Structure 1
Amino acid sequence: MNYIIYIFLALLSVSCNQKSETNTTKKIKKEPIIKDFGFTFNDFSVVTDTLHAGDTFSTILENYSLPDSLKIHDVTEKIKDTFNLKNIRAGKAIFTFSDKKNKKALKALVYVQDKTNYLVVDLRDSIVVQLKQKPTITKRRTVAAALDGSLSETLERNKVSATLANQLALIYAYTIDFFKIQKGDKFAVTIQEKYFQNGEYLGVDKIEACYFEYKGKKIYAFPYKLDEKYKKFDYYDDEGKGLKNMFLKAPLDYFRLTSRFTRMRFHPVQLRWKAHNGTDYAAPHGTPIKTTATGVVEKTGYTAGNGNFVKVKHNGMYATQYLHMSRILVKQGQRVSQGQIIGRVGSTGLATGPHVCYRFWKNGVQVDPLRLKLPNTEPMSKKQKGAYLTYIKPLKKELDDISSKTFKE
């Protein structure tokens, strides 16, 4: 009997020890460490929220107490030095980091602009505001394929972001009618793609080189800057010829052509017959006016006839002028890129309504741009062409090599 009691007590002891060990194990189990935006979440009381219409940094800060008697105004003024407060958007995520014991004591906040960019407002020692980017990895590859379905579908089958289709369409906008591409048309493209460090795909970051086979001919495209002073680059083929027109067809996106270039027109204000050395495009007051080609602003100003005007010199041969502006948005001597907004439609000077009078010079003589056979992108000099052909040689070889392997007959 005593023996049975002994065994029972021994088993009870073992059972209690096992429970004790289990409880100990549970107690020592650590919570996972979470790190993001440069913060260890475990060190704070963290609240994640989505901004709503009407939210501002001020309304967010009103829900917390700030350290060292800081005022909300102090914080927002500091943010303004780094970030435009008007750019805060509803639907974006915001993280607040507070003291673990006092959840109202704000230590920092993070506003997430997009997948990569975020704003940090750190209040721990002093007000420190920084625009940061999540670390990314860039990978480079060359893809060759034949069209099977749409271009975007073909890209997706090759595990490339379908958005590349839009980029290729813009590159070839002047040379290929993408409504007429057919099944079996071939293309190859060398791209740089971005990933987060955890492997999440962010899409195509840059196109280094490409070709598209259209109507049996390979049309190559390589991004290249003829002049490092310009921010933008143009695309050129394997012979150094530009893929887009040097000039836009018109200085406005939406317009009504009201008066053409003519040697004799009855002037609606002066009420007499005279030459009209420009092309009039009517549009609502304030419509953006774009420079039709890359160049340097030669002159801006006002005259009784022209009203507010801008004149742009494109090279030794061509210049353009834009009249009757309500506002001038560039300065004399400023470099401008094709399509850059240089002013707004108005009716200053001798004008009966809002429009832009577009004037065009070739070799110092005003001509009708609608009747002129205009060149493609500004041609390269011999020196520029030599440097360009040297630059694209390995890129072109890379495209051709993968094509020969992919499309073996």
Structure 2
Amino acid sequence: MAAAALTLPATGAIRSFGRAVPAPARPQHWRESLKYWAEEVDLVPDLGRDVGSLTWWRGLATCAALCFVTIKLAPDLAPLPGLAEAPMTAARYDEIRSQMITPLAYGSNSGRHMGPTELVSPLASTPERPMIQLFSSVGESGGLSRALARAGVSSADGREVMRTLGGEISPGSIDPGTRLDITLGRRPHPKAARPLDALSFRARLDLAVDLKRENGALTLHRTPIAVDDTPLRIRGVVSDSLYQAARAAGATPATAQAYLRVIAQQISLERIGAGDRFDIIIAHRRAADGMAEPGALLYGGLTTASGKKLDMLKWTHEGREQWFEASGVGKKRDGLAKPVEARRISSGFGMRFHPILGYSRMHQGVDFAAPTGTPIYAVTDGVVSYAGRHGGHGNFVKLAHSGGIGTGYAHMHSIAVYAGQRVRRGQVIGTVGSTGISTGPHLHYEVYKNGQTVNPLSVKFQQQSLLAGRELKAFRARLDTLKSQARGSGVAVVPADTVKAAEDRKVASR
């Protein structure tokens, strides 16, 4: 059978399994050509793939063409021509220099300065002021001599000042912050220091001094100043805070804090509220020229809104300043101090086998092991009732305390007190030793209650000073006198609204 020839249709259609597939249309316009290239042709192929293919070479050509166009369109980076400034003449330089800050730095006057001419002749030496008046102040460290040196006073003049003041005024007693008015005179030659011609300062609240150079030497002139020592009284009403109310009424921070500590001995500060009245009296010195010097707190009072009244006065009792309430009751002191600094207790209180006597017996104290010479301290205030040799105790000291309490210290190497002497808590009364019946250096410490020994480790009694008899009468007389004197000082009561307004001003100023 003869094979049939395949003939393509004239229309360009392709037969496929009995169906005709139309051929792709060719672009008839340039816009269609661009669209065709954009959609069908990859102009930016990946140059890392198919290296050497026609697509790769087309992408390389595109990259090179873009680089060429970028370089050709780059701006020119050559420098732009400009006009050079003409060289500055001497006259122009002098004109500019007269308006610079350099002349001011060298001490000349401000303003316009003209250059020198033939009518101006240079000076052989610059004239200086015949005197310089300045002031300095005494610092926290170094005292008067350091302040004079900082002000430019020569060391020779500084030593002369110290010699002149030495017999009358101690330079170390001058308070920090004291102002020194200094006058320095004309120096004999440019390399010499200016001599001290005059020095004035406030040596004390009641004394001003002037040192003046007369006939080549400094002469001291004193100016006494009258001082009023009347105590200052500050009273007011509490609004929100007792401390803020006291500060608003005129108390210094130190005075207000000291007052709070004293009041807290008798009443909790948390219980003090609005409407309570405070009363403060401090030592106060006021000079005739108005300068004042506040002192220590002497009295602290408080009256609560419910009517409870508290009066606290500083009083010297048994050689020590303490605060007492108006009834004569002082501050409570809890517990006992440690009698010796020891690392361990070598023997406790109770029955034990005696290492020397060879039998069991009651050990009526506590032994603290410590080297010979270690200080022994009084555990609390008391009076020495015995000091000396005491049988097996060796060197022995016994102290009597208030409330029927006593303490004993045995086997001491040395004794530093005597019978009848009053001692304070923490005072050294002797040193550790090994006298009497002892196997080595240690302190045997005993505590007595109504004459009977008790375990020292179980005793933590309270002590409270009490005034009685003539001392209580003198205490109350001093309290009345102080309040009457301070009342005459003219310090008015500060109302609550005044205190509140002062507090509001402080808050607003912040």
How far apart in 1 are the matches of 2:225 and 2:413? 43
Q: State which of 370, 377, 381 in structure 1 corresponds to 2:465.
A: 377
1:249 is aligned to 2:335: yes
Per the alignment, in what secondary structure is the counterpart of residue 159 of structure 1?
coil
Shift in alpha-carbon separation, 1:161–1:128, aligned structure 2, 3 A: same
Q: Which deviates more, 271-280 or 138-147?
A: 271-280
Deviations 1:366-397 (A, max 9, x none): 4567646545204413x433444444456678
Question: Any conservation in 2 of the 1:65–1:106 contact (CA below 8 Å)?
Answer: no
- Root-mean-square deviation over aligned CA pairs: 6.8
**Does residue 152 of structure 1 match 2:238?**
no
Quickly say closer, same or farther: Cα 1:46–1:406, change in 2 above 3 A. closer
Higher relative contact order (CA 8 A, sep 6+): 1
Q: Deviations over 1:120-164 (max 9, x none)?
A: 9999999999xx998754343444333333332110111122322
Equivalent of 1:163 in 243, 247, 254: 254
SS of the equivalent of 2:314 reads strand
> Could you say if the C-alpha distance between residues 140 and 385 of structure 1 is closer, same or farther in structure 2, counting changes exceeding 3 Å?
closer
Query: How far does the alpha carbon of each residue in 1:203-230 deviate from its partner, in whole angstroms, 9 at most, with x for none?
Result: 3434245235498632322333456xx2
Displacement of 1:183: 1.9
1:187 is aligned to 2:278? yes
Q: Distance in 2 between matches of 1:169 and 1:145?
A: 14
Could you tell me how far 1:119 is from its partner in structure 2?
11
- Map of 1:88-237 to 2, 5 A cutoff? 100-101=185-186, 103=193, 136-178=227-269, 180-184=270-274, 185-208=276-299, 210-211=301-302, 213=304, 217-225=308-316, 230=319, 232-237=320-325
Q: Report what 1:263 is aligned to.
A: 349
The answer on whether the counterparts of 2:231 and 2:284 sit within 8 Å (CA) in structure 1 is: yes
The question of whether the paired residues in 1 share the 8 Å contact of 2:259 and 2:297 is answered with no
- 1:62-101 matched pairs, under 5 angstroms: 63-65=154-156, 100-101=185-186
Which residue identity is paired with 1:65? Answer: A
Which residue in 2 is equivalent to 1:238? Answer: 326
Cross-structure match for 2:58: none
Pair 324,196 (structure 1): closer, same or farther in 2 beyond 3 Å: farther
Identical amino acids, percent of aligned pairs: 14
Aligned length: 341
* Pairwise CA distance, 1:244: 0.7
C-alpha separation between the residues in 1 aligned to 2:173 and 2:345? 44
Residue 409 of structure 2 contacts residue 445 of structure 2 at CA under 8 Å; is this kept in 1?
A: yes
User: Does structure 1 conserve the Cα–Cα contact (< 8 Å) formed by 2:352 and 2:362?
Assistant: yes
Contact 1:189/1:399, CA 8 A, preserved across alignment? no
| Partner residue, 1:275 | 363
Distance in 2 (CA, whole Å) between partners of 1:351 and 1:112 is 65
2:431 counterpart of 1:342: no
Once the two structures are superposed, residues 274-332 of structure 1 have per-residue CA deviations (whole angstroms, 9 ceiling, x without a partner) of: 636359799xx999967632x556677899x999997655579555567899999x654
Secondary structure in structure 2 of the residue aligned to 1:171 = helix
CA distance in structure 2 between the partners assigned to 1:126 and 1:142 by the alignment: 47
C-alpha separation in 1, matches of 2:208 and 2:346: 51
Change in CA separation of 1:66 and 1:244 when aligned onto 2, cut-off 3 Å: same
Aligned to 2:64: none
* Structure 2 gaps, min length 5: 1-130, 188-192, 497-510
Query: Residues 164 and 116 from structure 1, CA distance in 2 versus in 1: closer, same or farther, beyond 3 angstroms?
Result: farther
- Matches of 1:161 and 1:322 in 2, distance apart? 46
> Considering only CA atoms, is the larger Rg found in Structure 1 or Structure 2?
2
Query: Which residue is equivalent to 1:26?
Result: none
After superposition, give the CA deviation of every residue in 1:98-138 in whole Å (9 maximum; x if it has no partner). Answer: 87345566799999999999999999999999xx9987543
The structure-2 alpha-carbon separation of the partners of 1:197 and 1:112, relative to structure 1 and needing over 3 Å to count, comes to: closer
CA distance in 2, matches of 1:366, 1:347: 21
The residue that corresponds to 1:13 in the other structure is none
Map Cα deviations across residues 304-362 of structure 1 (whole Å, 9 max, x no partner).
x999997655579555567899999x6547966755x52499976689999x9875445
Which residues in structure 2 correspond to 1:6-25 (within 5 Å)?
none
User: What is the TM-score with the length of structure 2 in the denominator?
Assistant: 0.44
CA distance, structure 1, for counterparts of residue 368 and residue 212 of structure 2: 55
Aligned 8 A contact 2:336 2:461 in 1: no
Equivalent runs, 1:382-393 vs 2, <5 Å: 383-393=470-480
2:331 counterpart letter in structure 1: K
Kept after mapping to 2: 8 A contact 1:209/1:396: no
Query: How many angstroms does 1:189 deviate by?
Result: 2.9
The DSSP-based 3-state class of the residue aligned with 2:271 is: coil
For the 8 Å contact 2:285–2:293, the answer to whether it is kept is yes
The amino acid across from 1:342 in the alignment is Q
CA contact (8 A) 1:173 1:244 kept: no
